[in-house]
Amino acid sequence: MSRFVPGDVILARIRIGERGEPKVRPAIVVKTGDDGCIHAFPVSSAPSRDQRAVPVGLEDFQEGGLDIMDESYVLTGTMVRIAARDVAGKKGRLTPVALDAILPRK
C-alpha cells in the first residue's frame, strides 16, 4: 500500500509527452492503485497550449509548497503512473478546495 494519498504533492521522475526527456518534477497524487503505483497529474511552470491546465499557488497548499513564487500549472490532461520507489520526496499537500478543482468530474 502506498504512503501517498490524493492531494499529496510529490517529486518524481516524469516524462511529459512522448518526446520529452524525463526529469524530476512535482506531481499531484490523484489515486493509488492496488499494485502500489501512484496515478498523478504532472505540474509545470508554464500552462499547456493543448490541454487543461489548472493554476496553483502557495495559497492552495494546506502544508508545504513548491519552491517558487509564481503560479504553477497542474496538467490535468496528462495522467502519469509512478512507482512508489521512484518518488524522490514529498513537497506538501493541497487544500481540499484546490484538489476538488483539479480532479476529474464524475
End-to-end, the C-alpha distance of the chain in Å comes to 25
CATH fold of 8-95, please? SH3 type barrels. (2.30.30)
Give per-residue pLDDT as tens, 2-24: 589 999 999 999 887 677 788 89
Prediction pTM value: 0.88
What is the spatial distance between Cα 72 and Cα 81, in angstroms, rounded to a whole number?
A: 20
Give per-residue pLDDT as tens, 30-80: 999 888 899 999 998 888 888 889 999 989 999 888 876 678 999 998 899
What is the spatial distance between Cα 10 and Cα 27, in angstroms, rounded to a whole number?
A: 5
Domain boundaries, the chain: 8-95
